[in-house]
Amino acid sequence: MITTGIKKFDELLGGGIPNGKSILFQIEPGMEESDVAFPIMKENVGKVNTIYVSSVSSPKNVYRKMEEFDMKPDEKNFAIIDGYSPLIGAPSEEKYVVEEPHDIGSYEDTIFRALEDLGENTLLVFDSLSNIMDLCNERIALEGIERINNEINKIGAYAISNFIAWPYKEAILYRIKRIFNAIIDVRNERSLSLMEIKKADWEAKTAKFYFKIFKPEGLRIYIPKIIVAGPFRSGKTTFIKSISKKFFPVERLGATTGVEYGVVDYNGYRADVFGIPGREGFAPLLDKFAGSSMGAIIVVDSSSEESIASAKNFIEKFKDIPNVVVANKQDALNAKSVEEIKRMLYPYENVIGASAIRGEGTKEAFEFLAEKIVEELNAH
């Protein structure tokens, strides 16, 4: 089995991509994030060998992209099947060149030769299937792809195909869906990039999530807006600092005087987090953010009954989006326990204890909310 490197994504896939499986990424034309195979290649460097079938990019360009993801190809574990150079009549320095790029048989021969050299423990990446279909006659190309997928299945290797979803005929699309073990849709939704597991013939879940690709890090489940709110002096700033890899403070004399911003990168999630100051004057801003956020983190001071009680107002305000109460300052001597706070906020359940100043429990609270946001997206 190989993994995507994203904990939640692997979980949805039932642990990862099992041996012998072929995955089709069906990508909307003109997407910003279309290099979905690279992050998966990156995650599995050293675990499997990779064969990259390129029909739209020169080998030079493929190597350049790999570099952007901090991958260092080595001929013992990486090979390009160059279907591009012959197409434009350029010379190729690659070991595996598709002599007849208009003939799927020529692709097959070259791929099988590379598979023999690199062995069974290999990830085969097609970039792109749609282009190969355009060049080699759709139906005949698909017969070849089916033979390749069958071989992958037989030897227990892995295959990923990028397929740009141009308006092909229904019959062709139907045919494609049948020759792959899993289909993952990649499209724009609400101006964000979305990935949806449409079908898989193993124990995987059909589910969707927003994502972004970062270089060199790779793929992340993306949450564009999480709001952090709570009463005055509950430790929101410290909380955001403790979960963020980048933080932009707005502070004066220890009190926050404007909207703070942090970038969180944790366990495969990437989120932009906005902190709203607790003072009265910021209430209108709070309402504005509540309407556009995907989730809310309510930070309270566990050592102050007043602070805890005020959480109720925030819970009410954020009742339409996934939310969590962070019982902060658990390190304080007179801090109420999570159980006590749950009792005070009954019937509200999502309380997580934390000490932002010690960096304890904060990331767990973030992940708890992030999971809820993905669940919420799949509930509708």
**CB 123, min distance to another protein, A:** 22
Nearer to another protein, 29 or 119 (CB): 29
Nearer to another protein, 129 or 296 (CB): 129
**CB 52, min distance to another protein, A:** 15
Nearer to another protein, 195 or 365 (CB): 195
* C-alpha–C-alpha distance, residues 276 and 273, integer Å: 10
Nearer to another protein, 4 or 34 (CB): 34
Nearer to another protein, 34 or 304 (CB): 34
- C-alpha triplet 239, 234, 290: angle, nearest 5°: 75
**CB 195, min distance to another protein, A:** 17
**CB 164, min distance to another protein, A:** 5
CB atoms within 10 A of CB 15: 13
**CB 169, min distance to another protein, A:** 10
What residues make contact with another protein under the rule CB under 8 A? Answer: 27, 29-32, 34, 55-58, 61, 84, 87-88, 128, 131, 134-135, 164, 166-168
Nearer to another protein, 128 or 238 (CB): 128
**CB 193, min distance to another protein, A:** 12
**CB 58, min distance to another protein, A:** 7
Nearer to another protein, 55 or 323 (CB): 55
